[in-house]
Chain A
Amino acid sequence: MKITRAEVVHIADLARLELAEDEIQRLQADLSQILEYVDQLSQLDTTEVPPTAHVVAREDVLREDVTRPSLPPEEVLYNAPQAEEGYFRVHAVLPKGEQ
């Protein structure tokens, strides 16, 4: 299965990864090789096989709806690249003019 350059660029956009030109070329080759390798699974007929959702059977886990202490805001914001007045500060989500 050969992956095109355009597909690599599209997936990188979906994954929010800025790639350099040499990385795009390398990934095009690597992904093609790996997809060729995993293609062996198509030899197996799995029409009647249920997919594994959990290796250990589990019931839904619920807990009592009681308030418990959480981290203080200054600890939550301690690692933030930018914070202001108890909030994370981020770039504008909408371009100027659409705000």
Chain B
Amino acid sequence: MSLHRLTIHEAHELLRQREVSAVELTESVLARIDECDPEIKAYITVTPEVALEQAARADERIAKGEAGPLTGIPVAIKDNMCTRGVHTSCGSRILESFTPPYTATAVERLFDEGAVLVGKTNMDEFAMGSSTEHSAFFPTHNPWDPSRVPGGSSGGSAAAVVANETLFALGSDTGGSIRQPAALCGVVGLKPTYGRVSRYGLIAFASSLDQIGPLTKDVTDCALVLNALAFHDPLDSTSASESTPDYTSYLVEDLARVVVGVPTEYFTAGLDPGVEARVREAIAQLEELGAQVREISMPHERYVVATYFLTSWPEASANLARYDGLKYGLSAPDAQNIREAQSKARGRGFGTEVKRRIMLGTYALSSGYYDAYYLKAQKVRTLIKEDFDRAFAEGVDVIVGPTSPIVAFGLGEKVDDPLEMYLADLYTIPANLAGLPGISIPCGFHEGLPVGFQIMGRRFAEGTVLSVAYAYERSTDHHSRRPD
């Protein structure tokens, strides 16, 4: 039996019934990584020793009858989440030799549940990118077609899940970095509500937008992982104190009272007709399942990318000021004074994309420009947020559309035209700007490549989002298709 092909809930049943052990499951995943990863390159670091030790402990828990849904389940963690004693690079030269002294809360929660760390996944440097080509180390290849990108910035996590190189993964999402690679690789990816999952130990990119979430093989697994992640963390001042339901209780096939909003503005020039066809079919399927579909308007959709630039880049320039080569990270021992040491370490340690964003962010925050750029963007952000609030106030439960306007593109195809690459994030950015939960689920294929369907909901209504995703998934078989 190919254990690495299992979903979390399938593996849990076998573990619970003692038909397989956590060590056997982990060995199967590690063997799969050995087999696939030389070509896919989803991982920056593979952690077999940690994994086998955690798996052995999971087996002890299972033997005592204390197995939770994630006990003994292999997980891959994006390399921007701190893992005590395990190298954490954030895809950057500046942290190439960094080993954190503590573990991120989200990861700690999974460990508490008995999950097994198999490795740290590749990503665009500091999560800045949509293709994983901005990793300082190497690009990741899309398992459906290795000449194409897996999306980004959580491209390693998405590729690892679809290639069965893990049972599930964590990613982070600032402007689409969980949902877009989930779409391009054909897996389920959820960005929870802003504040739903603790960010303690997540290496910061843009603090008003960043959120951690799961990448899984199906919607049931997504709900199981969210159950472990969603809670109030006193170590993160932006962590939400709203109560958390059992998200699996929303996995019911009943869309009778659900109102689905479809923004007209999401179906305009730039959307690949092949992607549009699959998304329209998915919407028709929701109607077939009993949902009421309503056309809605998001008049400020055209401003989302510009607002995102002027929000996330200034925040990034401030967050990344901490990399000064003094306390940790790449240093410049050849410098003559402290200022030169900082400039040299940063000049050598950051890649092209990170420098571009730090430069624009610094410019937008510099004296005399703050009002015209950052403040202006925060005002437009209010208008974008109000577009969503209005739709929800008028009775819409979820807002759906494409996750990405295009399927996976070729490696190297867009890397020299940054603006073109950024514009492809237009459907995922709004959920970050408005703080909403959004999921991408597989809805079919175009030219042999996966297409993602996005479902967004009200703040803290992850349950509603999951219920619509689950009902759709149960009526199709797109999620069960794998590259091999």
Contact = CB atoms under 8 A, between A and B. Distances in A.
A90 B333 CA distance: 10
B379 A50 contact: yes
A4 to B, nearest CB: 12
B102 A81 contact: no
A56 interface: yes
Contacts of A93: 337-338
Contacts of A56: 193-195, 240, 435, 459
B135 to A, nearest CB: 19
B307 interface: yes
B358 interface: yes
Residue from A13, A55, A88 whose CB has the most chain B CB atoms within 10 Å = A55
Given A14-B362, A27-B355, A49-B379, A91 B336 contact: yes
A61 B327 CA distance: 28
B455 to A, nearest CB: 19
A3 B359 CA distance: 12
Contact of A55 (B98, B194, B333, B356): B194
Given A16-B342, A51-B379, A79 B359 contact: no
Contacts of B237: 61
A34 B385 contact: no
Secondary structure of the A side of the interface? Answer: loop
Interface string A74-91: 011011111000001011
Interface in A53-98: 53-56, 58, 61, 63, 71, 75-76, 78-82, 88, 90-93, 95
B227 interface: no
A17 interface: yes
Given A41-B307, A61-B237, A79-B328, A18 B341 contact: no
Interface residues of B, number: 71
B434 interface: yes
Nearest to B344: A18
A63 B339 contact: no
B359 A17 contact: yes
Contacts of A46: 376, 379-380, 383
A50 B382 contact: yes
Interface in B322-359: 324-329, 331, 333, 335-344, 346-348, 350, 352, 355-356, 358-359
A88 to B, nearest CB: 6
A95 B340 CA distance: 12
B154 interface: no
Contacts of B292: none
Interface string A4-24: 000110011111111110010
B208 interface: yes
A19 B355 contact: yes
Contact of B382 (A16, A51, A71): A51
Given A61-B237, A81-B331, A41 B377 contact: yes
Contact of B101 (A14, A17, A76): A76
Contacts of B98: 79
A68 B341 CA distance: 34
B306 A31 contact: no
Nearest to B365: A14
B110 interface: no
Interface in B377-396: 377-383, 385
A38 B310 contact: yes
Given A14-B366, A40-B306, A30 B381 contact: no
Nearest to A23: B355
A41 to B, nearest CB: 5
Contacts of A53: 378
B99 interface: yes
A90 B380 CA distance: 43
Nearest to A92: B337
Given A38-B309, A56-B459, A44 B331 contact: no
A82 B331 contact: yes
Contacts of B208: 52, 54-55
Given A38-B310, A46-B379, A17 B419 contact: no
B427 interface: no
A16 B385 contact: no
A38 B337 contact: no
Given A27-B356, A41-B306, A56-B240, A91 B379 contact: no
Interface of A: 3, 7-8, 11-20, 23, 26-27, 30-31, 33-35, 37-38, 40-42, 44, 46, 49-56, 58, 61, 63, 71, 75-76, 78-82, 88, 90-93, 95
16 contacts: A16-B324, A18-B344, A20-B347, A33-B419, A44-B380, A46-B383, A52-B378, A52-B382, A56-B193, A56-B240, A56-B435, A78-B101, A79-B97, A81-B331, A93-B337, A93-B338
Given A16-B324, A16-B343, A38-B306, 12 more contacts: A23-B352, A27-B355, A38-B373, A44-B380, A49-B382, A51-B381, A52-B378, A52-B381, A56-B194, A56-B240, A93-B338, A95-B337
